[in-house]
Structure formats: C-alpha cells, structure tokens
Amino acid sequence: MTATVIDGKAFAAKVRGLVQAQVANLIEVQGITPGLAVVLVGEDPASQVYVRNKHASTIEVGMASFEHRLTVDTSEAVLLALIHRLNADPAVHGILVQLPLPGHLNSELIINTIDPAKDVDGFHISNVGLLGTGQKSMVPCTPLGCLMMLRDHHGSLSGLNAVVVGRSNIVGKPMAQLLLGDSCTVTIAHSRTKDLAAVCRGADILVAAVGRPEMITGDFVKPGATVIDVGINRIERDGKTKLVGDVHYASAAAVAGAITPVPGGVGPMTIACLLANTLTACCRANGLPEPVGLTA
Ligand code: GUN
C-alpha cells in the first residue's frame, strides 16, 4: 500500500482562509478586530523565528498583532505586570507567551496568570481542566490541528482505536482528550511502554509526539492506518542538516493508509490553529456565535 499524503500546508492555508473570511465579517458587521498579543522574553533564535511567523500570519488574516519583546533579564514582576495589562486590554483577545522562558522565570506562574479566556495556547490550568472534563475550553493549537486533519480525512472518528505516543502537556495529553471527545478508544503510550510496536499496531489512528527522530517505523503501523507525525527533529545526515519527524516516513508510508509528512504536515497547522483560537476567543468575549469549522 502507498499511503495518501495528508497535505498540512494546503490544509493550513484553507484554515487561514476560513479565519480570514470570518475576521473580515467581524470587522464589517460588528466593528470588532480580533487582536493577538505575543510576548517574547530574550533572544532565543528559534523563538524569534516563531514569533516573526506568528506576527506575519496574524496580520495576513486581518487581525491586530501586538508584539512585546522583553530583554532576557526581565524580572518576573515586570512580566506579570505586562500580562495583567494585556488581560485588561479590550483590544487583546488572545495572549501567547513564547516558551521556553529564561530559567529565572516561573513558567507555570506566568501561564496561569493569563486570563483563561485569552489563553490561546490552552495551557492555563483552567483550560486543561475544562478540556479534561469535556467542557468548552481553549484547546492547545497542535493537537487541535491534528484533530482537524483527522476529521477532514475520516469524517467521523467514532469507535476508532487511537494510540498517542507521547505524554506531554502540550501535545500528548490534550490530543488524547480530544480523540476521546470524538469517541475514539484511546491509548496513551510513551518511550517506556512495553512492546510499543505491538501497542501501535493496534491503532487505526497513530499520533507520534514522542520527540525521538524516526522512532516509529513501518513495523509499528497497522496496514491502512492513519499516521500523524507531530515530531520536528533536526538531524545531521550525509553532512547536511535535515528535518525529520518522529516517524520513519518511507517505511511507515509503505504500510499506512494516510500519513502526514515532515515538513509540511502538522507544523503549518499549529499557527493556523493559533489564529483560529484567537478568533474563537474574540467571538466568545463579545457574546457572538462560535466561528464555523475552527473549534474542537
Ligand atoms: N514554543 C514552541 N511552541 C510553542 C507554542 O505552541 N506555544 C508557546 N507559547 N510557546 C511555544
């Protein structure tokens, strides 16, 4: 079998188009412009690239973008004061504090100071609890993007066996909750799972978010299964730096029914879902109906 390639780049463009159309409508009909504030502390090169991309995408869909760049030695008190200001600012509907933060800052305290209604990352403990109990919440962007691609490919996910490899708070755990919400039978596996290959072979939907380059090979994949690769790993091969996922693409694609590539799979969906979440937060803040096709 040769797997269908799930084109995350094209799907993300479609999601951004949906966001853009609904933003234009909000501005025209309600006179409301959704706004996203991104806070970057320090000069981590990877974070700078992410923040630049977020800014450009936010502007592109017609939203307001507020960037706050703080020096690496910024105190916790100063950062907390900024978050309180953004919480109180009616032009700001979404707040994202770029992680990782410098070591002297308490990330949990910072994230839990964001107004949960503006927590477009879905990392605030209130949103984690709401998602875990099946209530309306802000949902972390990467798992939301995976869910959208799975729904698009399968239609209903009801009754399917899903295995999520990885137990992080950012991807693995919320992914499992979302799949459970769509009535999958869900297993969370991880690097210490006994006979991981056999567990994975039981999956109709296999989500790899373990952070180990090319760990999931074709012998982990049930014939015809859908494989979602969340991994983004930089490796050296043949003297060149290469981007690979947590899935060994060639061997998995030979067995799977559908698969996301790296790059061009899950990656582009993350920023698209950040924009979707900002629009959702804006609609909720203004008592308007939820945006169409952009929520869990
Ligand atoms: N750093 C890398 N990815 C993310 C993300 O999705 N959200 C935040 N806040 N920081 C990140």
269 CB under 6 A from ligand 1? no
Report DSSP state, residue 247. Answer: B
3-state secondary structure of 253: helix
Atom of ligand 1 nearest to the CA of 123: 9
3-state secondary structure of 97: strand
CATH class of the domain whose range is 30-118? alpha beta
266 CB under 6 A from ligand 1? no
| Dist. CA 241 → ligand 1 center (Å) | 23
User: Ligand 1 pocket check: which of 47, 57, 95, 99 to mutate, most ligand atoms within 8 Å of Cβ?
Assistant: 99
Confirm if 195 and 202 have CB atoms less than 8 A apart.
no
- List CB contacts of 145: < 8 A, sequence separation 6 or more: 8, 12, 15, 266, 269, 270, 272, 273
3-state secondary structure of 152: helix
| Dist. CA 201 → ligand 1 center (Å) | 30
Among the listed residues 261, 243, 263, the one whose alpha carbon sits nearest the alpha carbon of residue 252: 261
CATH class of the domain whose range is 141-268? alpha beta
209 CB under 6 A from ligand 1? no
**pLDDT (tens digit, 0 to 9) for every residue of the chain, 296 residues total?**
689 999 999 999 999 999 999 999 999 999 999 999 999 999 999 999 999 999 999 999 999 999 999 999 999 999 999 999 999 999 999 999 999 999 999 999 999 999 999 999 999 999 999 999 999 999 999 999 999 999 999 999 999 999 999 999 999 999 999 999 999 999 999 999 999 999 999 999 999 999 999 999 999 999 999 999 999 999 999 999 999 999 999 999 999 999 999 999 999 999 999 999 999 999 999 999 999 999 99
Cα–Cα dist 206/245, whole Å = 13
Atom of ligand 1 nearest to the CA of 142: 6
141 CB under 6 A from ligand 1? yes
HSE-CB for 56 with a 13 A CA cutoff: 6
Can you tell me which residue has the tokens 């299964």? 225
Do 30-118 and 141-268 have matching folds? yes
Among the listed residues 219, 214, 123, 102, the one whose alpha carbon sits nearest the alpha carbon of residue 173: 123
97 CB under 6 A from ligand 1? yes
Peptide bond before residue 213 is cis, with ω within 30 degrees of 0: no
Can you tell me which residue has the tokens 């090319």? 214
99 CB under 6 A from ligand 1? yes
3-state secondary structure of 158: coil
3-state secondary structure of 108: helix
Atom of ligand 1 nearest to the CA of 99: 10
| Dist. CA 31 → ligand 1 center (Å) | 30
3-state helix, strand, coil in the chain (%, to 5): 40, 20, 40
Can you tell me which residue has the tokens 């690769």? 229
Structural domain boundaries in the chain: 30-118, 141-268
| Dist. CA 96 → ligand 1 center (Å) | 8
The number of residues making up the chain comes to 296
